[in-house]
Structure 1
């Protein structure tokens, strides 16, 4: 596992140059974009938080909210600067604004001050008083070390190759998978160890081996397992049944006990029902879709929710056959879950890890 490092500030002109000359995400404090998003809030430690107080009496205050049950940290003006959901390890922290774009595939851009990180333990009511959280929060509050969003965009078209100390490429442009014999459809079941090209031993003791023809390939769930598991260190299962952690397939993840079900699968199989309300979603949630009649009752696609783009549409990034790899692009359907587009009509459930 490569050691993650903080990212230094990049001048706005450099960002514009990257947008013009590359297809991978741009990242920085964009002064020309700040009017499009709420001002970034900085959370600072204070005596009440350091001493284990629950609701603070200073500039910050803790509050409990429902649907789902969660704790939020507010600044002096009442704005939420951090969200922690009961039963989930995912935390959403406010920080410097970033722009995620993929100009080779779409004009959609996400300008966000949300940083999605994985805590070492699931959140419980009152966890702000516990030492593990104080230590974690002190380290990551205001940090610009790569988060879940940064990991995800290190696999889109044009993303540069990054290698670990052993010379194994752990990031860089990923494909969905090789073509089948028909030369039209692409092979699925391409996991993170296929992309890496190295054997991987899971906590259950099972060792799985990469297939040469699938090198640097990630299907939709393989992409999520790379981002959340191999990079962020969420436990991984060797299959949908062996061990605990994140299962192998989209259907396995959707139906697993991992994390918290934010929107549950509803309606009759095999197509289920589109959710009526998606306002409960927050950046970093996993989104699940029913797209293919050939998969029977199975949920067959998973994506990472990014939040609203600059046009106000709720968008995601996922690995797809049509674009041949991780993308927020438009081929095969615009990456939106609002409105009545292709993916919006096939969206079925959501989970917060």
Structure 2
């Protein structure tokens, strides 16, 4: 009997064909299961730990649309449905991202709460117009939108219980935003540090969660900056709330905080 043998060359060609066929099948299954709008992000630049917790991919990827808006100059990213998922202010590191809905009680009884989907994190560098075209940006945004670790607002809320009334404005900024002591001290001065968003209390519509609100409550608003708070947003009664010295008072028209308002800054 004659035994048929396959030459090494033919065996290699056959194995290559099998490997190619299996690759096509696997890619087809992945495409059907995950869809064409998913990719694996393999490199994301290191950033401040408070800002984004880098997690293993893949991350869902949409075709974002970017739009420029004025006062303050900023870039917003919209998803396929047209909803704003991120807001980047020129010169600032804080960015507001769309995330799961949550609430922050702002009164002892719990009757008033600030509800919303705003999550505030820090960019690795201050925003500039056109930065969405930078190599680091897309991986950072994908990771940030997927991150559920404590953000700026949750960190600020964490530092309010107990002896929060003893925390100075500069110390607050260091704790919440992770800025160096020197930079935090400069931020407390009304004429230095940060992006100025408003110098009029009546312009509260310009604020976004995470903004710093600086007040001068002595000498009819003409004295030194004291205290400093973190803006939370509007509560369920439409009042603007700021985390301030162990509480979250409203900056109501005609009130003491309204009268002593000096400036709103975006870090």
Q: Normalising to structure 1: TM-score of the pair?
A: 0.55
1:255 correspondence with 2:191: yes
1:142, distance to aligned residue in structure 2 (A): 2.5
Secondary structure of the corresponding residue to residue 174 of structure 2: helix
Distance of 2:132 and 2:180 partners within structure 1? 23
Higher helix share: 2
1:143 correspondence with 2:182: no
Secondary structure of the corresponding residue to residue 222 of structure 1: helix
Q: Are 1:74 and 1:80, in contact at CA under 8 Å, matched by a contact in 2? A: yes
Structure 1 residues 88 and 126: CA distance shift in structure 2, 3 A = same
Distance of 1:350 and 1:304 partners within structure 2? 10
Distance of 1:338 and 1:294 partners within structure 2? 17
User: Deviations along 1:10-45, whole A, 9 cap, x unmatched?
Assistant: xxxxxxxxxxxxxxxxxxxxxxxxxxxxxxxxx942
Secondary structure of the corresponding residue to residue 143 of structure 2: helix
The RMSD of aligned alpha carbons is 2.7
Q: Are 1:115 and 1:147, in contact at CA under 8 Å, matched by a contact in 2? A: yes
- 1:74-223 superposed matches below 5 A: 74-102=78-106, 104=108, 107-157=111-161, 173-177=162-166, 218-223=167-172
Structure 1 residues 44 and 84: CA distance shift in structure 2, 3 A = farther
User: Deviations along 1:212-262, whole A, 9 cap, x unmatched?
Assistant: xxxxxx134322321112xxxx3331xxxxxxx222673x2x321x22111
Gaps of 5+ in 1: 7-42, 47-57, 158-172, 178-217, 238-244, 265-273, 320-325, 329-334
Distance of 1:249 and 1:64 partners within structure 2? 26
1:175, distance to aligned residue in structure 2 (A): 3.8
Q: Normalising to structure 2: TM-score of the pair?
A: 0.71
Q: Which runs of 4+ in 1 moved over 6 A?
A: 3-6
Counterpart pick for 2:254 among 320, 323, 340: 340
1:263, distance to aligned residue in structure 2 (A): 1.1
Aligned length: 214
Q: Are 1:44 and 1:141, in contact at CA under 8 Å, matched by a contact in 2? A: no
Secondary structure of the corresponding residue to residue 62 of structure 1: strand
Distance of 1:64 and 1:139 partners within structure 2? 23
Matched residue, 2:74? 70
